[in-house]
Structure 1
Amino acid sequence: MKNLIIIGARGYGREVYNLAIQCDGYQKDYVIKGFLDDKLDALVGFDNYPEIISSVENYEIQENDVFICALGSVKWKKHYVELIQGKGGQFINLIHPTVIINSNVKIGNGLIVFMYSNISNDCEIGDYVTIQGFVAIGHDSKIGKWAHINAYSFMGGYAILEDEVCLNTRATVLPNVIIRKGATVGAASLVIKNVKENTTVFGVPAKRLEF
């Protein structure tokens, strides 16, 4: 039996805890040991959660520990996953039992996939991707490492998200569109053409925002 440790004990960490206890592996493959967070009082006022054991930086990995990263920021997810990897830590996937994964889908490691999402046939999902609830991913789509796809988003067939892309809530990416590395798509946006690396787009149709 593995001991699952959740990186991050804030609001999203509490969501991932509830996902973990709903997944098929709970109490079969793993139990939940607790959280890692540098804000040691993050759970004050919240009942029925396991303890915050330590910060990520100070935690010493024990035998049978496995990890999942519950951070909504692509930047900080990558940072803390790499910290744990540097200590020899291993990550697992948490995929809600209502998720539909169709034929020939290739999935990576460290995935978080929430309820009622659909991953259509022949897709490729990279390591440490987060897919929130009610997301639809069309056939032959590719999602790169570290990507974060928020609730109710849609990707058409053959769409590509490169590494470290973030789709915010209800974003729509039309078929065959490529969103390059590190780009962000704003909430409720409609992406009809390719998006350049490390840019932010928003609107219907989505256009580049300048900061």
Structure 2
Amino acid sequence: MKNLIIIGARGFGREVYDLAKQCSGYNTEYIIKGFLDDKSDALDGFENYPEIISSVEEYKIEENDVFVCALGSIKWKIYYTELILSNGAKFMNLIHPSTILNTNAVVGVGLIVFMNSNISNDCIIGDFVTIQGYVGLGHDTRIDKWSHLSAYSFTGGFVVLEEKVLLNTRATILPHVTVRKGATVGASSLVIKNVKEGTTVFGIPAKILNF
């Protein structure tokens, strides 16, 4: 039996805790050991959650430990995942049973997928990708490492999301569009052409935002 440890005990961590309880391996392949968070009082006032064991920096990995990273910020997800990987940590996937993986869909490790998402035919999803609820991925979509897709976002066929891409709630990417590394797509935006690396786009159609 594996001992699942959730990195992050804030709001998203609490959501991932329930996701872990809803996945098919719960209590048969793994139990939930607790959280890692440097804010030791993050769960004060909240009931029915396991304990915060320690910070990531102080945790000593034990036999049968496996991890998921429940941090909504891509920057901090990378930081804490790489930190504990350097100490020998192993990560597992949490994929809600209502999510559909269609023919030839390929997924990496450290994947988090919430309820009622559709990963269509021949999609490729890299390591440490987060997919929230009700996301639709068209056929042959490629999502690279560290990316985060918020609820109700959608990609058409042959879309490419490079590393560290953030799609906010209800973002829509039309077929054959590429969103380059580190780009952000704003909530409810419609992307009709390629998005440049490191930019933020918003609107219908989506245009670059300058701050």
Q: Into which bin does the TM-score normalised by the smaller protein fall? A: over 0.9
Aligned partners of 1:168, 1:69: CA distance in 2, in Å? 19
Corresponding position of 1:132: 132
Q: Secondary structure of 1:133's partner?
A: coil
Q: Secondary structure of 1:83's partner?
A: helix
Gaps of 5+ in 2: none
Q: CA deviation at 1:147?
A: 0.3
Corresponding position of 1:122: 122
The answer to whether residue 195 in structure 2 is matched with residue 189 in structure 1 is no
Aligned partners of 2:123, 2:62: CA distance in 1, in Å? 35
Identity %: 71
Q: CA deviation at 1:82?
A: 0.2
- Partner deviation per Cα, 1:21-58 (whole Å, 9 max, x = no partner): 00001011100000000000000010000000000011
Q: CA deviation at 1:134?
A: 0.2
Output aligned runs, 1:144-155, within 5 Å.
144-155=144-155
Output aligned runs, 1:5-16, within 5 Å.
5-16=5-16
Q: TM-score scaled by structure 1?
A: 1.00
Corresponding position of 2:2: 2
Q: Secondary structure of 1:152's partner?
A: coil
- Partner deviation per Cα, 1:136-177 (whole Å, 9 max, x = no partner): 000001000000000000000000000000000000000000
Aligned partners of 1:102, 1:53: CA distance in 2, in Å? 37
Q: CA deviation at 1:115?
A: 0.2
Q: CA deviation at 1:208?
A: 0.3
Corresponding position of 2:174: 174
Q: CA deviation at 1:132?
A: 0.2
- List structure 1 segments (4+ residues) > 4 angstroms apart after TM superposition: none
Q: CA deviation at 1:96?
A: 0.2
Gaps of 5+ in 1: none
Number of aligned pairs? 211
Q: CA deviation at 1:124?
A: 0.2
Task: Supply the AA of the counterpart residue of 1:41.
Answer: D
The answer to whether residue 89 in structure 2 is matched with residue 89 in structure 1 is yes
- Partner deviation per Cα, 1:50-91 (whole Å, 9 max, x = no partner): 000000011110111000000001111011000110000000
Q: TM-score scaled by structure 2?
A: 1.00
Task: Supply the AA of the counterpart residue of 1:191.
Answer: V
Q: CA deviation at 1:188?
A: 0.4
The answer to whether residue 108 in structure 2 is matched with residue 111 in structure 1 is no
Aligned partners of 1:100, 1:61: CA distance in 2, in Å? 33
Aligned partners of 1:23, 1:55: CA distance in 2, in Å? 25
